């Protein structure tokens, strides 16, 4: 059994992503450590999705440097769930199996059961409801046995019941030792799930704190405004 290589701490060092003449994100300096979920919080357009993609190595910074466990390349135990996950044109079980490196029907069933989709294994994935598809995407991500699981506003388009179901699964995943890094613009969700908060606005890192500290004593005016429910532009 090989010694596991860790992608944590995940460190951003002066990272910027410039497209055309606009900095989508600029001067990001942060570190993500193992432990409770890290929630990326901020209004729409604040750069949360971009940060996730950079961390997932789906995009390359135009300035600065990202390291995974102090290395330049991640070890590939990263997985991501998108806001609108793409379902492959096959059954739910087949979608999960797709993410496995070798055929393992028992594991597929176990993963489906874990997200509460065991009874829908043979249903065409595209005919699942929004919430079910989100849960299937989670199962698919878990199939990769990730060390870090990135989620980009996974419940943004779901109703409260589906949202609860997904949040419960995320909590259980976090409890099993997977590091969760999740973007949300929804305060209540952040309160429910966060261990620590990264607060972004206009592509910049505004505040970084443990969840309790952030919610009770925001240090910056933007964070305070956001918590107060005011618009932060």
Partner 1 sequence: MPDGASALALVFGGDPALYRIVALSLYVSVAAVLLAALVALPFGAFLALVKFPGRTFVVVVLNAFMGLPPVVVGLAVYLLLSRSGPLGFLGILFTPHAMIVAQALLVMPIIAALTRQTVEDLWAEYREELTAMRVTPARRVTTLIWDARFSLVTTLLAGFGRAAAEVGTVMIVGGNIEGFTRTMTTAIALETSKGDLPLTMGLGLVLIVLIILVNALAWGARRVGEIRAG
| Chain positions contacting partner 1, by CB under 8 A | 56, 58, 76, 79-80, 82, 85-86, 88-90, 98-99, 123-127, 140, 144
Distance of closest approach, residue 59 Cβ to partner 1, in angstroms = 10
Residues shown for the chain:
233
Distance of closest approach, residue 53 Cβ to partner 1, in angstroms = 8
- Taking the C-alpha atoms of residue 201 and residue 133, their distance in angstroms, rounded to an integer, is 30
Distance of closest approach, residue 208 Cβ to partner 1, in angstroms = 25
User: Which CB sits closer to partner 1, 115 or 190?
Assistant: 115
User: Which CB sits closer to partner 1, 98 or 220?
Assistant: 98
- Taking the C-alpha atoms of residue 136 and residue 2, their distance in angstroms, rounded to an integer, is 30
Distance of closest approach, residue 154 Cβ to partner 1, in angstroms = 14
- Taking the C-alpha atoms of residue 226 and residue 228, their distance in angstroms, rounded to an integer, is 5
- Taking the C-alpha atoms of residue 38 and residue 197, their distance in angstroms, rounded to an integer, is 6
User: Which CB sits closer to partner 1, 51 or 223?
Assistant: 51
User: Which CB sits closer to partner 1, 71 or 90?
Assistant: 90
- Taking the C-alpha atoms of residue 102 and residue 94, their distance in angstroms, rounded to an integer, is 12
Distance of closest approach, residue 26 Cβ to partner 1, in angstroms = 23
Q: Which regions of 74-178 does DSSP assign to beta strands (E)?
A: 78-81, 148-152
User: Which CB sits closer to partner 1, 74 or 203?
Assistant: 74
User: Which CB sits closer to partner 1, 5 or 187?
Assistant: 5
Say which residue the tokens 């995009």 belong to. Answer: 59
Distance of closest approach, residue 123 Cβ to partner 1, in angstroms = 8
Say which residue the tokens 């079910």 belong to. Answer: 132
Which of helix, strand or coil describes residue 133?
Answer: helix
- Taking the C-alpha atoms of residue 135 and residue 117, their distance in angstroms, rounded to an integer, is 8
């Amino acid at each position: 059994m090989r010694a596991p290589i860790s992608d944590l701490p995940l460190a951003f060092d002066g990272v910027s992503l410039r497209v055309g003449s606009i900095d989508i994100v600029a001067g990001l300096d942060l570190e993500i450590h193992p432990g409770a979920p890290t929630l990326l919080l901020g209004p729409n357009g604040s750069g949360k999705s971009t940060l996730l993609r950079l961390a997932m190595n789906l995009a390359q910074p135009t300035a600065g440097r990202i390291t995974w466990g102090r290395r330049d390349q991640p070890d590939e135990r990263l997985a991501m769930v998108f806001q609108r996950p793409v379902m492959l044109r096959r059954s739910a079980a087949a979608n999960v199996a797709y993410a496995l490196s070798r055929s393992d029907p028992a594991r597929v069933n176990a993963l489906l059961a874990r997200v509460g989709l065991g009874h829908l294994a043979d249903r065409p994935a595209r005919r699942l409801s929004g919430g079910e598809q989100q849960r299937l995407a989670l199962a698919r991500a878990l199939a990769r046995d990730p060390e870090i699981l990135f989620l980009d506003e996974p419940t943004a388009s779901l109703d409260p019941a589906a949202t609860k179901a997904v949040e419960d699964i995320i909590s259980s995943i976090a409890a099993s030792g997977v590091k969760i890094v999740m973007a949300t613009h929804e305060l209540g969700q952040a309160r429910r799930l966060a261990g620590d908060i990264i607060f972004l606005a206009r592509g910049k890192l505004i505040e970084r704190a443990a969840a309790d500290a952030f919610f009770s004593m925001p240090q910056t005016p933007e964070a305070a405004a956001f918590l107060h429910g005011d618009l932060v532009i």
